[in-house]
């Protein structure tokens, strides 16, 4: 008989809603480095996507008799390129690991991150002439892509385990997550 490992059901209720991580084996030590690599690749992909689709968008815009021909196409291309570039890079790095996420969810996360950036940019809090604007412009879509990739990922090595009910233990503890607020952590071990 196979030795049962500890599995945990995470449920965190915070300020921004409810997160469920689902059933998962305890994270391996390489999980953090994979996420760090996804963040790095996502940032680089966002920058490359910004440039590539801004140039493409600028060229696709019809000629006009205005001061800035191609500007609207470049701006639309830059926003789309940032979300798509970060999502593609995050997905490529993630697929090389043990957890396989959905490309569609990763792209949706990239666009959701860009959606979070827009109110900040439109509020005038960030100036495009300064670095914090570009850090937020590339970081928020990347963070969204990474989060949605992992929320859609399934552990490849997880298999069902037959456990007698008397061996299962449930513990629930209150938690506090800085920036998100109070939550509960439910752990089922067997």
Q: What is the pLDDT of residues 81-131, one digit of tens each?
A: 999 999 999 999 998 887 788 999 999 999 999 988 888 888 877 888 888
- Per the domain annotation, does 16 fall within a domain? yes
Structural domain count, the chain? 1
Asked whether residue 72 is domain-assigned, the answer is: yes
Q: What is the residue range of 42's domain?
A: 7-189
pLDDT, residue 20, reads: 42
> Rounded mean pLDDT of the chain?
76
For residue 29, name the pLDDT band (cuts at 50, 70, 90): very low
Average pLDDT (72-80) is 89
- pLDDT, residue 65, reads 75
- In a domain, residue 74? The reply is yes
Stretch 68-86: mean pLDDT: 88
Is 2 a member of any domain? no
> 52 in a domain, yes or no?
yes
Residue 1 maps to a domain: no
CB-CB neighbours of 33 under 10 Å: 11
Q: Is the dihedral of CA 104, 107, 112, 115 positive or negative?
A: negative
Which sign, positive or negative, has the C-alpha torsion 160, 161, 167, 173? negative
pLDDT band at residue 160 under the 50/70/90 scheme: low
| Confidence bin at 184 (pLDDT 50/70/90) | low
pLDDT: which is higher, 158 or 118:
118
């Amino acid at each position: 008989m196979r030795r049962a490992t500890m599995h945990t059901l995470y449920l965190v209720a915070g300020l921004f809603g409810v997160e469920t991580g689902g059933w998962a084996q305890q994270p391996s030590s390489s999980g953090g480095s994979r996420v760090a690599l996804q963040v790095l690749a996502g940032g680089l992909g966002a920058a490359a996507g910004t440039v590539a689709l801004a140039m493409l968008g600028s060229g696709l815009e019809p000629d006009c008799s205005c001061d800035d021909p191609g500007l609207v196409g470049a701006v639309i291309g830059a926003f789309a390129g940032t979300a798509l570039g970060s999502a593609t890079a995050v997905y490529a790095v993630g697929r090389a690991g043990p957890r396989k996420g959905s490309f569609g969810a990763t792209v949706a996360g990239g666009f959701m991150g860009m959606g979070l950036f827009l109110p900040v940019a439109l509020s005038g809090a960030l100036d495009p002439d300064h670095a914090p604007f570009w850090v937020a412009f590339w970081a928020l879509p990347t963070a969204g892509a990474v989060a949605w990739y992992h929320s859609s990922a399934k552990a490849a090595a997880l298999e069902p385990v037959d456990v007698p009910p008397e061996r299962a233990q449930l513990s629930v503890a209150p938690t506090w997550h800085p920036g998100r607020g109070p939550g509960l952590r439910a752990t089922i071990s067997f």
